[in-house]
Structure 1
Amino acid sequence: MSAKGYRQRCDAGGISYAAMIARILLLIALIGVAPMATAQHWIRENARPGDLTLAAQGRVAPVVIDPADHAVVAIAAADLRRDLATVTRATPGGDTQIWIGTLGKNAAIDRLIADRRIAIGTLKGAWESFLIASVDKPRAGVARALVIIGSDRRGTAYGAYELSRAIGVSPWHWWADVTPRQQASLHVAKGLRRFGPPSVKYRGIFFNDEDWGLVPWAAATHALQEKPLGPKTYAKVFELMLRLKANLLWPAMHKVTQPFNADPANAALADRYAIVMGSSHAEPMLRNNVGEWTAPPDDFDYVKNAPGVQRYWADRVATNARYESIWTLGMRGIHDSGMVGPSTIADRRATLERIITDQRGMLDRAGIADAPQVFTPYKEVLDIYRAGLKVPDDVTLMWPDDNFGYIRHFPDQAERARSGGSGIYYHLSYLGAPLSYLWLSTTPPALIREEMGRAFDRGARQMWVANVGDLKPAELATDYFLSLAWDMEATRAQPIDSFVEGWAAENIDAAQARPIADILRVYHRLNFDRRPEHLQWHLPGEKARQSPLSIAQADARLADFAAMEQAVTALEPHVPGDRQDALFELLAYPVAASAAANRRFFAAEAHDRLRDSDLAEAVRRGTIAHAADATLRALTHHYNREIADGKWRGMMAVEPADGQWRSYRLTPPILPAPDALSAPASVPTIAPLHIDPVLAPRQFAVTKGWRLGDGLGRHGAILAATGAGSSVTATITLPAGQWRAVVDILPTYADRDSDPLRLTIAIDGVAHRLAVPRQTGDRDWAQAVLDNRIALAVPVDLPAGTHRVTLQSADPGVLIEAIRFEPVNTTGRLH
């Protein structure tokens, strides 16, 4: 959308052009500026002494493999050849070659190793590792070779795609229309480069709730000749996974989707791409229950119908035993529901133990007893586990988050000692209570870092899976999740802005990477405050109620959104034409759509509030709400029908997309009757706001035992305790009146779900111990995940003047967003 269009929309929202520019500059200044991300420098256009030349003067090094190598190596090599041709527009030839091979599967590379031409070190036997080295005269007629050696089949493929990425081909080149930059010459800096092993053994994604994007798009646009989802779609998925160094997929599983194994070509394709297949916590033994269990749901009962259920599972073991898979053990209901049959915790525990024993027996009889197996204590199954469920030691325990990005349980000492290890199932998209978030991707990368980093430090390193919904538009969050899984220490050592800046440089435009990272910082901050899918403050089934924001507060929020939109408009003309589609998909659409959703909601709410007191202003607000609704339709039409020549038709659906699953989804917004509305006669200024005093994390003098976490929360950082014995202090001066401190924390968990979160705060030397119970599923939890905040009031009134505030201690996992000071009225209540 053009800059003029953005400006017209923002003006309709009641914000002046100049005010928007000033506000976005202020937001960026307040939050801070990220350092420039470090680019990869081992591939360059201009040669230096000792470099190996891959492309020059119209010729590019040919890619050579051994036909005896794995199928995925041939696939990766073919993709690399295409990538080299796309980037250089050169013809293969010359006296330099690119050799790609797996240890023990490439005779020419094995000879180089045997002749000690390459020191592979600990590569042999390593998991999914590779090295890249240059070799002079590797054989007669070849002057030099760039040799990529993998420890196993995926390691080799990752190596080929690592070279593709280094020459400028983004992993998202197809999925986000990231056109590679042309480079006539390519030179490799001298030196040997080692990669791997990964921080987490199995790293993957889960397509879920695919009804509104992935399946309609595949059925109507991408793969019209096959039932969705089929091999044509999964081939694109598998390529992306290899480019992101992922290795595990839980396939889509709703009723609208053909079960993955219903078409044998899918499993065969996954094997060719060396992708490990698994299934979700609700689908034991690689079975898609909603599509494959054809008997009545009540028959999916192991107490009454064990033989029937066993046959159902054994059939899948027989067909898929030859493939690399992770077998989900246990049993739940047909569609992500509780187990049918036993009614008490004790009976459920006994039944599950019997089920797991029988399932492992099936694997043993098929000759794959040592295949990786996983058990996920999700929702009610966690209660059964805690009641003493015995899970075999070599089975991975997969710990879930609460569906909103906050992990419920972290491995204790006994669980860390298990040979099967622990994993994490993490949501970047969710359909369920209290309200779903299926449309835009708004989980901040910093929250992913905090939660997954904490899990990693506590030993959850065997298996990570992110629920990515339809994948688009969760590109950044997916990339960051998998980057942490591949190399935890290097990834989390980067400030969030640095990572995002590097990602923006790779996928949108290096020249605009800094402002793009600034915009995405504000985008995540505003939408962390309230996701666009959560723009209602009553829970499903409750009486509707208005938001707690005054009209002036809502206007200030909308001004921040409008300023963010204008920042996109300002950089849009500077992005190259062949990256405009990527710009729209990765930045402009989520920014503009989230802004329009907020404008629609708050303008409609203001109309209702003002209808009886200021009819003219109410009418003006109603007009803004309708304009925002039209903007959402236009943006989504542009995404689905116009960008990339209509490639994404059917992919994007504004929440709520339809009337399905109404109990879990946003109530459709009610807009004023259009006939009574008219265009606004003037553009008012934003009403002045009273800002209560706040101590933000950066105002504390951080010492040993505490740390600042960047990129998270409403104030740009969070404060967390890292050890006992230290405290942090700040001072604040309160204006006239009586005040009460409120500590805002994120709704994280103690190491164990249901344990309270505790912290101690001292004000003017008087300590106050605060605690909040955390019970997943209750109303307090529901409100906390929608607000992304828990407010803990300190039970003491403070007069005007200067006060010393000390954070003395906090439990592991407590993330402090700010300490606010709210005025107290004459009755002792907070205003």
Structure 2
Amino acid sequence: MRNILISAYLLLTALSVIAKPLPFCLDAGQTVKISSCPNEAPIVKTALGILEHDLNSVLANEVKYVQTGGNIIIGTFNKDLKKYFAKGEIKLLNNSKEGFILKVLPSGKLLIAGSDSHGTAYGLLELSRLIGVSPWEWWADATPRKINHFQLPAGYKDYQAPSVEYRGIFINDEDWGLMPWSSMTMEPNNKRGVIGPKTTEKIFELLLRLRANTYWPPMHECSEPFFLTPGNREVAERYGIYIGGSHCEPMASSTAVEWGRRGVGEYDYVNNSNNVLRFWEERVKDVAGQEIIYTLGMRGVHDGAMNGAKTVDEQKAVLSKVFSDQRNLLSRYVNKDVEKVPQVFIPYKEVLDVYNAGLDVPEDVTLMWCDDNYGYIRHFPTEKERRRKGGNGIYYHVSYWGRPHDYLWLGTFSPYLLHQQMNEAYNRGIQKMWILNVGDIKPAEYQIEIFMDMAWDMESVCQKGVQSHMKDFLAREFGIANAERLLPVMNQHYHLAFIRKPEFLGNTRCEEYGPGSGKWYVVSDLPWSDEYISARIKNYQSLSDEVEQINSNIASERIDTYFQLVKYPVQAAAEMNKKMLYGQLARHGKTAWDNSRQAFDSIVALTGIYNRGIDNNGKWNGIMDFKPREQPVFAPLKPCETYSEPVLRTGKTIEARYHKGDNTPEHFGLGISGHAIEIPKGKSAIYDIPASERDSIAIILNFFPNHPINENDGLKFAISLNSSTPYILDYSTKGRSEEWKDNILNGRAAKTVVFPASNDSGNKLRITAITDGIILDHIEILQ
């Protein structure tokens, strides 16, 4: 009897141990068995290959694929996987597109299930993230750190699904980076300009790691078109990437190059519509079985207005006919139900005027809005546009070639500006498609990551904020101790560049034609005092020194990563400021010209290191050019013997102290001040103004150079001092006016108001928002 009792006790004990949920564990050197369905989509098989590579890099694991009994069970959600999920989890997967669940089962096995094949792929690469692999593993040489053990706790569960349906990048202005690097270094080709499948595969791997799904290929005349390059389309199919195109590339055709090869006559839908339609038809027939987001409409062959139609009404009539004909092609060759074919219309530049004149865009077509090329969104959807079946998208720039000046070099675009504008866009209904113009990818790595993280999980990034997000990015790449030191460095780096981008330091402009335009190609003084110039040089030198000191703490396997993500952009920006600002001082005999020349030589040397690499053996040779388009600002400055006094803003200013606001949220890191204030419609911000002994007091209000939330409303505000009658002003700009150009280059929209002076010690300046979208940067008082 006693033996029976002991046996029963041991059995119960064993059962209790078995019933206890187990964690999911991976140990270095073990064989990882993955159970998967053999008929999974190509994107899932591609993601499995990437995960296999990552497990081997981090844990030296070998992967074996089995039908059953795997450590990891993966699959696109189906009836065989339902047994692992509760009803609520099944509902989540059924109601999401590209979503996934990671779940540690009671047995200690890890389940990765996607709502569709894209979701399964993102779930697999979420495991790569969890074991410590950076999305920039290849693109920034972020060699994974090796570990001996990885564990997820018993009961672990994570559900994710995208906030934005289509998320991706546009490789643009590739002439000085991606194109020469790809065709000469990555996959050398007898024909310059080929961006081939090896490069494309690495781009698409990055997109998968960033949970993106859409790609607009390079389209300049210097590059071979995507669909004319053997192997590219097959890579897109393996990686599940939707191929789209910009505002001047309708129907999956890279018109700038392809019209000269496949087209007949003029690219003109008024006088040559049959040949233009045939040009589009050839491509649609060819790619009908592939995942394409078709751009509708028509502009010029490249970035210009359409041929054959001059007035807005004429263009509207042509576009209406173009829409009808293009959708007929889609219904004939892609899907009889044309509303099931992803389509987008991009009212960019002059096309926005045509749209505003009443152009009728089919309801199922996504409307994609644009920024002004410098990060300030020009149009937010109206209530009617938000209700459209096709939804709304955004085409956004962190790199740009054009007026008033390019910024193609250093990737200094403010992440705080990006975060504020994209948050505004999302909250106002732009949730269908986000495309980021990234130039050559490098060196805009961080801007790309925060953009894609917001597109994937807007709520999480907004709760975290840019500060915490950037710190996590730096900690992942360089460790938490280095991240603590680097965060203020990068914040100051982006802040100084917001005040004046390195590319804007020559006081020059690009592509200005007509009488007197030649003056914009001559480097001249910025309206900065000697004191400010000296302080700015000192600030940059401090950043450069700190970056150099931290360099000694960086692990050897991340030294190239550090150079690409931190050292080159910060130190090259510092040297560019020294080159231009020492040059300005030298023009007035206040320093030696050698200081400017030495800074130029440092830029050349740093760029050489980037292209040669430190430990990557020249992997990036040709990717970095410090003088894109050979703009005057990039050249070494020529000493001159005639000195003149710089043109300065008259009078000294002091910054007014922000006293209080009526529900006015402050945006850390935003604007010249670094703490711009958003004033909601009908609310006020109040500033303390010191007493003045003068007859009048001039106040400069520096606003964010944004655009109206509602185009017809403008950006109107009321301003009053104490009990004075309020002034009503509007700081919105029209098109590419001189005022807009000055605002862009200076990072602010300035308005000056003069009040009768008051000797009272308690002066209160009140600024009240009359419209939505009022963002006040800082206030100066002329003394």
Instruction: List aligned pairs for 1:185-584, cutoff 5 A.
Output: 185-225=149-189, 228-294=194-260, 299-368=266-335, 369=338, 370-539=340-509, 540=512, 541-543=517-519, 544=522, 545-584=524-563
1:217 is paired with a residue whose SS is helix
Per-residue displacement from partner, 1:655-701 (whole Å, max 9, x unpaired)?
3x344xxxxx5545452359x9xxxxxxxxxxxx99732136xx343
State the partner residue of 1:770.
729
Amino acid at match of 2:527: P
CA 1:179–1:222 in 2, change beyond 3 Å: closer, same or farther?
same
State the partner residue of 2:572.
593
Per-residue displacement from partner, 1:722-779 (whole Å, max 9, x unpaired)?
343x333232435765641111011101124475311122222323322124112111
1:634 is paired with a residue whose SS is helix
1:476 is paired with a residue whose SS is helix
1:122 is paired with a residue whose SS is helix
Amino acid at match of 1:76: A
Amino acid at match of 1:590: P
State the partner residue of 1:629.
600
Residue identity over aligned pairs, in percent, reads: 35
CA distance in 2 between partners of 1:404 and 1:708 (Å):
22
Per-residue displacement from partner, 1:52-83 (whole Å, max 9, x unpaired)?
24322632533332211111111111111111
Amino acid at match of 2:52: R
CA 1:759–1:297 in 2, change beyond 3 Å: closer, same or farther?
farther
* Alignment check: 8 A CA contact 2:413 2:447 kept: yes
> Which residue of 667, 676, 679 maps to 1:721?
679
Residues 1:111 and 2:80 aligned together = yes
Amino acid at match of 2:455: A
CA distance in 2 between partners of 1:136 and 1:490 (Å):
28
In the TM superposition, what is the alpha-carbon distance from 1:452 to its structure 2 partner? 1.1
In the TM superposition, what is the alpha-carbon distance from 1:810 to its structure 2 partner? 4.7
CA distance in 2 between partners of 1:626 and 1:561 (Å):
17
CA 1:439–1:386 in 2, change beyond 3 Å: closer, same or farther?
same
Residues 1:128 and 2:86 aligned together = no
* Alignment check: 8 A CA contact 1:284 1:330 kept: yes
CA distance in 2 between partners of 1:596 and 1:743 (Å):
31
State the partner residue of 1:796.
755
* Alignment check: 8 A CA contact 1:422 1:461 kept: yes
In the TM superposition, what is the alpha-carbon distance from 1:116 to its structure 2 partner? 5.5
2:80 is paired with a residue whose SS is helix
Residues 1:88 and 2:59 aligned together = yes
CA distance in 2 between partners of 1:81 and 1:226 (Å):
34
CA distance in 2 between partners of 1:493 and 1:608 (Å):
48
CA distance in 2 between partners of 1:552 and 1:731 (Å):
26
State the partner residue of 2:11.
none
Per-residue displacement from partner, 1:164-209 (whole Å, max 9, x unpaired)?
0111000011101112122100111233534333111111100000
* Alignment check: 8 A CA contact 1:353 1:389 kept: yes
Amino acid at match of 1:764: N
State the partner residue of 1:730.
687
Per-residue displacement from partner, 1:320-361 (whole Å, max 9, x unpaired)?
110111100000011111101011111110001000100000
Amino acid at match of 1:537: N
- Unaligned runs of at least 5 residues, structure 2: 1-19, 642-649
* Alignment check: 8 A CA contact 1:77 1:100 kept: no
* Alignment check: 8 A CA contact 2:35 2:70 kept: no
In the TM superposition, what is the alpha-carbon distance from 1:577 to its structure 2 partner? 1.5
Residues 1:98 and 2:72 aligned together = yes
> Which residue of 640, 648, 651 maps to 2:620?
648
Per-residue displacement from partner, 1:407-446 (whole Å, max 9, x unpaired)?
1111001111111111111011011111111001121111
In the TM superposition, what is the alpha-carbon distance from 1:454 to its structure 2 partner? 1.1
State the partner residue of 1:782.
741
Report the number of matched residues. Answer: 733
Amino acid at match of 1:257: S
In the TM superposition, what is the alpha-carbon distance from 1:50 to its structure 2 partner? 5.0
* Alignment check: 8 A CA contact 2:21 2:106 kept: no
Amino acid at match of 2:135: P
In the TM superposition, what is the alpha-carbon distance from 1:96 to its structure 2 partner? 6.0
CA distance in 2 between partners of 1:160 and 1:279 (Å):
28
CA distance in 2 between partners of 1:597 and 1:582 (Å):
22
CA 1:257–1:51 in 2, change beyond 3 Å: closer, same or farther?
farther
In the TM superposition, what is the alpha-carbon distance from 1:255 to its structure 2 partner? 1.2
Residues 1:818 and 2:778 aligned together = yes
CA 1:307–1:112 in 2, change beyond 3 Å: closer, same or farther?
closer
CA 1:752–1:727 in 2, change beyond 3 Å: closer, same or farther?
closer
State the partner residue of 1:67.
38
Amino acid at match of 2:23: L
CA 1:810–1:514 in 2, change beyond 3 Å: closer, same or farther?
farther
* Alignment check: 8 A CA contact 2:672 2:747 kept: no
* Alignment check: 8 A CA contact 2:42 2:239 kept: yes
Residues 1:756 and 2:737 aligned together = no
Amino acid at match of 2:723: G
**TM-score of the pair, normalised by structure 2:** 0.90
* Alignment check: 8 A CA contact 2:697 2:754 kept: no
In the TM superposition, what is the alpha-carbon distance from 1:560 to its structure 2 partner? 1.0
Amino acid at match of 1:761: I
CA distance in 1 between partners of 2:184 and 2:711 (Å):
43
CA 1:116–1:669 in 2, change beyond 3 Å: closer, same or farther?
closer
Moved more, 748-757 or 601-610: 748-757
Moved more, 74-83 or 57-66: 57-66
CA 1:606–1:57 in 2, change beyond 3 Å: closer, same or farther?
closer
- Unaligned runs of at least 5 residues, structure 1: 1-48, 105-109, 138-143, 611-616, 660-664, 677-688, 824-831
Per-residue displacement from partner, 1:274-325 (whole Å, max 9, x unpaired)?
1111011110001001211126896100111111001100011101110111
CA distance in 1 between partners of 2:168 and 2:697 (Å):
49
In the TM superposition, what is the alpha-carbon distance from 1:219 to its structure 2 partner? 1.4
In the TM superposition, what is the alpha-carbon distance from 1:382 to its structure 2 partner? 0.4
CA distance in 2 between partners of 1:668 and 1:125 (Å):
52
CA 1:261–1:542 in 2, change beyond 3 Å: closer, same or farther?
same
CA distance in 2 between partners of 1:667 and 1:503 (Å):
32
Moved more, 810-819 or 356-365: 810-819
